[in-house]
Amino acid sequence: MWAGLAIATTAVNLRTAVTGFTPLLEIIGRDLGYGVAVAGLLGTIPAASFGVFGFLAPVVTRKFGLERTAAAALGLTTVSLLLRALAPSTAVLIASTVLALAGIGAANVVIVPLVKAWFADRLALWTSLYLILMQTGQFVAPLLAVPVAERSSWQVSVGVWAAPAALAAVVWLVLALKLPADHHAPPPPPADGRKVRITRSGTAWGLVILFAMMALSNYGIITWLPAVLTDAGGSATLGGSMVGLYSAWGVVAALVVPQLATRLTNPFVVVVVCSAVLIAGYLGLVLSPLGGTLVWVCALGVGVSTFPLCMTLINRRTRSPQTASTVSGFVQGTGYALACFGPISLGLLRESTGSWSTPLLVLAATAVPGVLAGWFACRPRFIDDPAPAAGATPAAASR
């Protein structure tokens, strides 16, 4: 019971500190006195923090255990969100944002192997559940952000998300105190003594690039979609609501994609369909941002459904929670590191060209490497199976 509650409360917090913040960038900027460059930097921080602390999380979990790492990560996020709400200057706002998202970056990584460790026999169900809750938090936060700020202040709108983070931290702490740090025993080494090298796995690298292209689109959309619409003549409320609509499609994806990923031997068709729909959404925003906005935003929401695919495949293509933790850190750490330059680069590109057309076309083009990487990511094989000797036939992965 505690494990399920802990995973559920953590999932709600995995995106609220981002999507509940970006619709307020202009409002906060007017108060603290920063411009487009700082707004782009703040949009880049989530991917950068998720990347850096995605790499570090598996190292911490090997020493302290998955549950203790989750408790510490959510505790750090709670304190940092309160500090961000009280930020008297741009420097404090940036520093507290980095710390808040450091905790979420670690939680992003550990929740994947925690699902495998506690619910290996119900992998699709619990992957769907935690992704649904994550996406619920992701789309509710931007819907509330501007209205709460207008009725009270941006500080209240930003700080309110410390409460669910604190709840998640407490639940993990209770569970961690009940268990030894090493209660998830590592698997025995291969009989021939060969070590698994994640960086030599084509499947792992396919997941990295597929994830990176998805993250580049996701954080580009979350950061700049409101600006795309307001520059075209829309309102700030429209921008926030469209980020919410975009995020809401993640709930549908969380219901459908993990089921497909566990039932299909090779779910590459999911990558192809998502990429085609994503390109259509970007082209729609280029050609007619306020005519058909709902259609284009829905297309973007469907297009980034490769996220639940990657999260499911990390567990499906590994044999143990320990390997899943390492692969999760590698995929999310590297993927977010590659994607972290997206929001600020897109903002600078907008400034240099004078319109959003070029940035949106660049985002559309990222679907191409995503499809190529998806071919390798979706192949049915285990990442933690040592490479076979020359001339040997590789074992088939789980169906």
Which CATH number is 132's domain given?
1.20.1250.20
Q: What is the pLDDT along the chain (399 residues), one digit of tens a residue?
A: 778 899 999 999 998 888 888 788 888 888 888 877 787 778 778 777 887 887 788 888 878 888 889 999 999 999 999 999 998 988 999 999 999 999 998 998 899 889 988 888 888 888 888 888 988 887 788 888 889 998 988 899 999 999 999 999 999 999 888 876 555 555 555 544 555 678 888 999 999 999 999 989 988 898 789 889 999 988 877 887 888 788 788 888 888 999 999 899 999 999 999 999 999 999 999 999 998 999 999 999 999 999 999 999 998 988 888 788 889 889 988 888 887 778 778 888 998 998 999 999 999 999 999 999 999 999 998 887 765 544 444 444 433
Residue 226: give the domain boundaries: 2-181+197-377
Give the dihedral sign, CA 365/376/194/311.
positive
pLDDT at 238: 86
Q: How many domains does the chain have?
A: 1
| 223 occurs within a structural domain | yes
Q: Could you tell me which residues come within 8 angstroms of residue 35 by beta carbon, excluding any fewer than 6 positions away? A: 29
pLDDT at 337: 81
Residue 318 tokens, joined: 């590994």
pLDDT at 63: 81
pLDDT at 24: 84
Distance CA 98, CA 95 (A): 5
| 114 occurs within a structural domain | yes
pLDDT at 260: 92
| 393 occurs within a structural domain | no
Residue 99 tokens, joined: 């710390």
| 225 occurs within a structural domain | yes
pLDDT at 211: 94
Residue 83 tokens, joined: 């500090």
Distance CA 242, CA 23 (A): 10
What does R_g of the chain's alpha carbons equal in angstroms? 20
Distance CA 300, CA 50 (A): 22
- Tell me which residue has tokens 């983070």: 165
* Residue 265 per-residue DSSP state: S
| 188 occurs within a structural domain | no
| 319 occurs within a structural domain | yes
Is residue 361 within 8 Å of residue 137, measured between CB atoms? no
64 Rama class: left (phi>0) / alpha (psi -120 to 50) / beta: alpha
| 30 occurs within a structural domain | yes
pLDDT at 181: 53
| 386 occurs within a structural domain | no
Q: Which of 224, 261, 199 is nearest to 345 (CA)?
A: 224
